[in-house]
Structure 1
Amino acid sequence: MEHIRLPSILEIIVTLGLFLAIVFSFTVFFKLPIQLALFISLFLVILLGLRLGHRYQELQGALTTGISNGLEAILILIAVGALIGTWIAGGVVPTLIYYGLEFIHPSVFLLATLVICSITSLATGTSWGTVGTAGIAMMAIGEGLGIPLPLVAGAVLSGAYFGDKLSPLSDSTVLAASMSKVNVIAHVRAMLYLDIPAYIITAVLFTTAGFIYGGKNIDLEKVEFLKASLLNTFNIQIWMLIPAVFVILMLALKKPSVPTIAAGALLGAIWASLFQGIDVSEALGSAYSGFSIDTGVEFTDNLLNRGGIERMLGSVVVIIFGLGFGGLLEYLGVLKVIVSKFQNHLTSAGNVTVSTLIVAFLANVFGCAMYVSLILTPKIMEESYDKLRIDRRVLARNSEVGGTLTSGMIPWSDNGIFMAGILGISTFTYAPFMWLSFVSIALAIIYGYTGKFIWYVRNNKEVLQKTAI
């Protein structure tokens, strides 16, 4: 039997360097799909595994195991695609847009966007569902009010990830807690010490930006034209929002995400047939093909022609390949080898915090999926926390900050592709305005080096080292 070994740093640098070269060249220079680059990269890692002495069957098993760990994300994504399609057809999203244009003042629009998306995400536990519904509406309202779209996207994503990170209903929250061997509610409580200050700072930033930009470039004619276009195309009534209220209530009552979102999509199709005068087969078809209309006005058409399972298939492929890639990296011990090289420097809470954030970010970069980051990071870093007797709640919190909050910044990750596609602007365009993410990362590092809100375990009892900022 051939001897199996861990990869050397040189082998890791060459492999991951080639991965980045393939991704950038395919997407930037050759204008080829990211999915093709990821597919080729899978075999790049498999070749590394064969070189290390692994059998192909073992490597394929690691690949499929990695994919199976994130199948729930794929099901949620498919359900969200169906939801977006039928909710536009059923008038749910158009009604949100109309009332937003009617009642939200431009000066407080960015703050309102942050708050609305936060509440939606907290209640539903899904950043994807939040961006696909409330996020689309806020982008449309922002464009109508003349607010720079990258700023609007930053507010949408800051709110969506805030709720996704704190909601006990969120799959990412549950995953980070379970992989760190922490109770979910204890994890959420530990997150509050960081997230509340981060949220307040972020709210101040978006409020300031709102007063700077709000109303400066507002085109009242464009706003009225959009409102009139929506009224001419859809039946706009307050009861159009019933499917949204249903989904939020069901998820708030801790009903399973996939069937709840699918039921919301069905309600959207029923609303499209009952209230929007769309043929039953066409209304149901919008769940798969998305909503499609030709009003003759490019702005309105770009706004409304979205959603559907079919339009999510590209993201599904990215998640599959990304999870497989991450599964191979974990099996070969790539990130563990990287961490081991600076293990001797992990002698303080500050250094361990920074290392966790870096590992979580790299897992997003090379694993191409948030699930990969939240699975790998706690596994790789848990030993360092245990050696310093740092409570696992800190591990779970740092894994979320480094994993969940940076996932939308990577153009080839599942979150990056989904968010850019739904919001209609590139990842690099909106990433600088994901202010909640940057503030949270800064606070996590400050907490680590100052000892604020860092818990230690002593004789199996949790001891809070510092209790006040």
Structure 2
Amino acid sequence: MNSGTTRLPSMLQVILALGAFLGLAFSFTAELDLAIQLALYIGWFIIIGLGLWLGHTYKSLEEAALEGINKGLVAILILLSVGALVGTWIAGGIVPTIIYYGLQVIDPHIFLLATMVICSLTALATGTSWGSAGTAGIAMMGIGQGLGVPAPLTAGAILSGCYFGDKMSPLSDSVVLASTMSGVEIMDHIRGMMPIALISYVITGILFTVAGAHYAGQVDMSQVQIVSDAMQQQFVITPWSFVPLILVLGLLAKGMPSFPAISFGAVLGIVWAVSVQGLDLRDAVATGWAPAVVDSGIEFLDKILNRGGVSSMLGSVAVIIFGLGFGGLLDKVGALEVIARSFERFVNSAGSLAVSTIGTAFLGNVFGSAMYVSLILTPKICAKNYDRLGYQRKNLSRNAEFGGTLTSGMVPWSDNGIYMASILGVSTFAYAPYMWLSFVCIGVTIITSYLGIFVHKVADLKESQQIQTEVAQ
């Protein structure tokens, strides 16, 4: 085992190892009501055992797990800062103010469409789906429940908007990662995604408009008034509470890294809690760690307002740490590489390339438990198939982005799944069916790829470069 000779696992070994992990994950979450962190913890030793059998040393496997964790430390810092921001923004009356005014101005008929558009613009401007869900997303959840719209449906509209804006923003870390790992310029990557993304956005907007019209007739306006009155009783509602939101979004749009920008927003929340809401300074600062207790007498409203703080994110941090380490171990033993190789004989067209790449990216989220793992491994595994068949790498970066980013929130034990479920207060399995943009975008990508639409071959690139050279001469 320590001779330095290692080998790739067989497909049977991969199936048994990953099957054991999936069995643990589903049984822990769906049947036994146990923490997913325990399933990931045990999963480490399943993959470590496979790695030792394949000739790897324990030291090398441990280093691979730590390397995987290191790749996601930025995500952990952002997660903790968002927790602090949510806690202080609720205490400072910022989130309640957004909910209050939203209930006054948003027409129930277009609420779901407006939710998707607002969240997509926020994510597009800031480049972060997490920050958008933690600010605009929480507010829209409160407005939606005040209007009587089912929480999973509202969450689906929020995530459709957040992930659309995130993957179309040059400020997004997922965009940078997908393009860099595929060897594509960022703006070429975005231009490659744009036609399919816009078509999917329009289709999804129509779906949410239809769904919103259905629920608009069921809105109880007296309930809206009750929620508005409860907000005014619990908090000082003032337009000045929009200032921290504008400042934070402005900093993110200017390109400031998410961690310091969101942390600055948490400080502003403390300032507003003291100066506007009249909290004691010590109590205001404490909301950065644990939420203040809000008792409005309205159950769903209390669930939204009694959340936030760094402590509320510690369970998610554990998931991300174990998940990233699990992904690092899978990369080390070559499990995903073996799966991808088994698909190679079926990859012979643009359509099959799209299916295999999106499938590999999804498996990266399922078994790597993090979007970062998916976006790092997928281009590495699939690139040779694009080169072999003569397709430009921006097809690869687009398909990897769609498969990795758009499915990341669907996996209950992934970093995005855990984060979105905790921040929105809706379980992953409940909101996943309503992530309509993800399903539409992936469907449109596969269909157009098989039809040869929005597909770019290397020959087309060479011809274009030749024409540009001749024109220049």
- Aligned residue in 2 for 1:417: 418
Aligned: 1:73 with 2:75: yes
Q: Partner amino acid for 1:31? A: D
Measured after TM superposition, the shift of residue 16 of structure 1 is 0.5
Q: Which runs of 5+ in 2 are unaligned?
A: 466-473
- Which aligned pairs between 1:98-247 and structure 2 lie closer than 5 A? 98-214=100-216, 216-247=217-248
Measured after TM superposition, the shift of residue 275 of structure 1 is 0.5
Aligned: 1:54 with 2:56: yes
- Aligned residue in 2 for 1:340: 341
* Residues 304, 425 of structure 2: 8 Å contact kept: no
Mean Cα deviation higher: 289-298 or 454-463: 454-463
Measured after TM superposition, the shift of residue 35 of structure 1 is 0.4
Q: Percent identity?
A: 56
Measured after TM superposition, the shift of residue 133 of structure 1 is 1.5
Mean Cα deviation higher: 131-140 or 14-23: 131-140
Separation in 1, partners of 2:461, 2:100: 55
Q: Partner amino acid for 2:399? A: N
- Aligned residue in 2 for 1:399: 400
Measured after TM superposition, the shift of residue 131 of structure 1 is 1.2
* Residues 201, 437 of structure 2: 8 Å contact kept: yes
* Residues 76, 258 of structure 1: 8 Å contact kept: yes
- Which aligned pairs between 1:24-35 and structure 2 lie closer than 5 A? 24-35=26-37
User: C-alpha offsets along residues 405-456 of structure 1, whole Å, 9 cap, x if unaligned?
Assistant: 0111111111111111222222111111111001100111012111111112
User: C-alpha offsets along residues 78-117 of structure 1, whole Å, 9 cap, x if unaligned?
Assistant: 1111111111111111111001100111101111111111
Secondary structure of the structure 1 residue equivalent to 2:457: strand
- Aligned residue in 2 for 1:271: 272
- Aligned residue in 1 for 2:468: none
* Residues 455, 462 of structure 1: 8 Å contact kept: no
Secondary structure of the structure 1 residue equivalent to 2:458: strand
Separation in 1, partners of 2:115, 2:315: 28
* Residues 142, 301 of structure 2: 8 Å contact kept: no
Distance change (3 Å), C-alpha of 1:278 and 1:261: same
Distance change (3 Å), C-alpha of 1:151 and 1:454: same
Measured after TM superposition, the shift of residue 347 of structure 1 is 1.4
User: C-alpha offsets along residues 18-46 of structure 1, whole Å, 9 cap, x if unaligned?
Assistant: 00111122222221110011011011100
Separation in 1, partners of 2:366, 2:449: 24
Separation in 1, partners of 2:254, 2:342: 46
* Residues 407, 415 of structure 1: 8 Å contact kept: yes
Separation in 2, partners of 1:297, 1:108: 25
- Which aligned pairs between 1:279-294 and structure 2 lie closer than 5 A? 279-294=280-295
- Which aligned pairs between 1:296-315 and structure 2 lie closer than 5 A? 296-315=297-316
* Residues 145, 300 of structure 2: 8 Å contact kept: no
Measured after TM superposition, the shift of residue 462 of structure 1 is 7.2
* Residues 179, 378 of structure 1: 8 Å contact kept: yes
- Aligned residue in 2 for 1:355: 356
Separation in 1, partners of 2:357, 2:407: 13
Measured after TM superposition, the shift of residue 170 of structure 1 is 1.1
Distance change (3 Å), C-alpha of 1:120 and 1:344: same
* Residues 146, 227 of structure 2: 8 Å contact kept: yes
* Residues 292, 305 of structure 1: 8 Å contact kept: yes
Q: Partner amino acid for 1:461? A: K
Separation in 1, partners of 2:246, 2:256: 14
User: C-alpha offsets along residues 104-145 of structure 1, whole Å, 9 cap, x if unaligned?
Assistant: 111011111111111111111111111111111111111111
Measured after TM superposition, the shift of residue 268 of structure 1 is 1.0
Secondary structure of the structure 2 residue equivalent to 1:288: coil
Separation in 2, partners of 1:462, 1:420: 48
Measured after TM superposition, the shift of residue 2 of structure 1 is 5.5
* Residues 86, 283 of structure 1: 8 Å contact kept: yes
Separation in 1, partners of 2:364, 2:262: 28
Secondary structure of the structure 1 residue equivalent to 2:413: coil
Mean Cα deviation higher: 143-152 or 10-19: 143-152
TM-score (normalizing by structure 2): 0.95
- Aligned residue in 1 for 2:371: 370
* Residues 122, 167 of structure 1: 8 Å contact kept: yes
1:87 to 89, 92, 97: 89
Q: Partner amino acid for 1:420? A: A
Q: Partner amino acid for 2:320? A: I
- Aligned residue in 2 for 1:11: 13
* Residues 121, 127 of structure 1: 8 Å contact kept: yes
- Aligned residue in 1 for 2:98: 96
Q: Partner amino acid for 1:183? A: E
Measured after TM superposition, the shift of residue 463 of structure 1 is 5.1
* Residues 7, 334 of structure 1: 8 Å contact kept: yes
Q: Partner amino acid for 1:438? A: F
Separation in 2, partners of 1:230, 1:108: 23
Separation in 2, partners of 1:99, 1:204: 25
* Residues 117, 159 of structure 1: 8 Å contact kept: yes
- Aligned residue in 2 for 1:316: 317
Separation in 1, partners of 2:211, 2:246: 30
- Which aligned pairs between 1:29-44 and structure 2 lie closer than 5 A? 29-44=31-46
Measured after TM superposition, the shift of residue 280 of structure 1 is 1.0
Separation in 1, partners of 2:23, 2:301: 38
Q: Which runs of 5+ in 1 are unaligned?
A: 465-469
- Which aligned pairs between 1:445-460 and structure 2 lie closer than 5 A? 445-458=446-459
- Aligned residue in 1 for 2:469: none
Separation in 1, partners of 2:10, 2:372: 26
Measured after TM superposition, the shift of residue 343 of structure 1 is 1.0
Separation in 2, partners of 1:462, 1:143: 55
Separation in 1, partners of 2:298, 2:347: 58
* Residues 456, 463 of structure 1: 8 Å contact kept: no
Measured after TM superposition, the shift of residue 163 of structure 1 is 0.7
Q: Partner amino acid for 2:284? A: A
- Aligned residue in 2 for 1:439: 440
Q: Partner amino acid for 2:81? A: A
Separation in 1, partners of 2:15, 2:348: 25
Separation in 2, partners of 1:77, 1:284: 18
Secondary structure of the structure 1 residue equivalent to 2:256: coil
